[in-house]
Chains A and B, each alone.
Chain A
Amino acid sequence: MSELQVTFTRERIARYAEASGDHNPIHLDDDFARSVGLPGVIAHGLLQMGILATVAAEAAGGPDHLRRIAVRFAGMVVPGDTVTFRAEPAGDGKLALTAVNQKGEAVLTKGMAEFAA
């Protein structure tokens, strides 16, 4: 089993916005985020998925071994949240993936990966 705990910060979210080119203001601008009904800025789902993929890659024996990864973006992650990312063997080249916040709520669900030897 591979596991990683990450506390999200505005800086981390802003760095992902820069690196990914996803500058949607819901990730960067509190006032805008509130205007669309969010509590403030939220982390990119794809940032969560990217971190989860690094954990899956470790469990798979390296990133080149990953053949598939899938998630549902089920909950918001806001600055200050600590998320535990986990990959567990699920038999036959498969991994079960989870991401759970400090309140025990799943922020990513239906997480799975496949890997090749």
Chain B
Amino acid sequence: MAAVAGRTYPAVRFEIEPDAVAAFATAIGADPADGVPPTFAAVYSLGVTAPQLLGDDEAAVDFANLLHAEQEFEWQRHPLVGETVISRARVASDTSRRGMRFVSFETDTTDEQGAPLSRSRTLFVIREDVRPARAPAP
């Protein structure tokens, strides 16, 4: 299994659109009038960068056996509705033991001027001792 600690991914720009914020706020039971819900970082930070890891053939993360084990978000400033943010992700660590692979994935998000907004830290645990799952039925 490939260990890809230290790998970095290209910056991703994301515009925080009012409709997307309102839909997310409603889904978690927050008041859409309160602006961007803090955990909308699951979308503007983690959500835009996780596909880079999962689509990385060399990282070879087996999506079907992946467990989102831990999550942390940290903010210097919460983004505003309508703001464009820029996220850069990296694999902070990648280790295996006893048939389990532990991938720590971090994403730093800044505003368009490069001032820090947030950091997302994710621990993915991937079972390595199983066969790939079947695809969903058509």
Which residues A66-117 have CB closer than 8 A to chain B? 66-73, 110
Please indicate the chain A residues that have their CB under 8 angstroms from the CB of B134 in the complex: 35
Please indicate the chain B residues that have their CB under 8 angstroms from the CB of A31 in the complex: 136-137
Please indicate the chain B residues that have their CB under 8 angstroms from the CB of A36 in the complex: 64-65, 133
B136 and A63: CB pair below 8 A? Answer: no
A29 and B136: CB pair below 8 A? Answer: yes
* Chain A interface, DSSP helix/strand/loop, else mixed: helix
A62 and B34: CB pair below 8 A? Answer: yes
A6 and B29: CB pair below 8 A? Answer: yes
* Contact flag A66-B38 (CB < 8 Å), given A25-B136, A36-B64: yes
Please indicate the chain A residues that have their CB under 8 angstroms from the CB of B69 in the complex: 72-73
* Contact flag A68-B73 (CB < 8 Å), given A20-B47, A35-B134: yes
* Contact flag A22-B47 (CB < 8 Å), given A47-B28, A53-B28, A57-B38: yes
A63 and B37: CB pair below 8 A? Answer: yes
A69 and B23: CB pair below 8 A? Answer: no
**Is the C-beta of B72 less than 8 angstroms from some C-beta in chain A?**
yes
Chain B's nearest CB lies how many Å from the CB of A70?
A: 4
Selected from A35, A45, A63, A69, the residue in CB contact (under 8 A) with B35 is A63
Please indicate the chain B residues that have their CB under 8 angstroms from the CB of A57 in the complex: 30, 34, 38
**Is the C-beta of B68 less than 8 angstroms from some C-beta in chain A?**
yes
Complex formed: what's the CA distance from A35 to B136 in Å?
8
Beyond A53-B37, A63-B37, 7 extra complex contacts between A and B, CB < 8 Å = A25-B136, A29-B136, A31-B137, A35-B136, A64-B78, A67-B74, A70-B121
Chain A interfacial positions (CB closer than 8 Å to B): 4, 6, 12, 15-16, 18-22, 25, 29, 31-32, 35-36, 45-47, 49-51, 53-54, 57, 62-64, 66-73, 110
Chain B interfacial positions (CB closer than 8 Å to A): 20, 23-24, 26-30, 34-35, 37-39, 42-43, 47, 64-65, 67-75, 78, 121, 133-134, 136-137
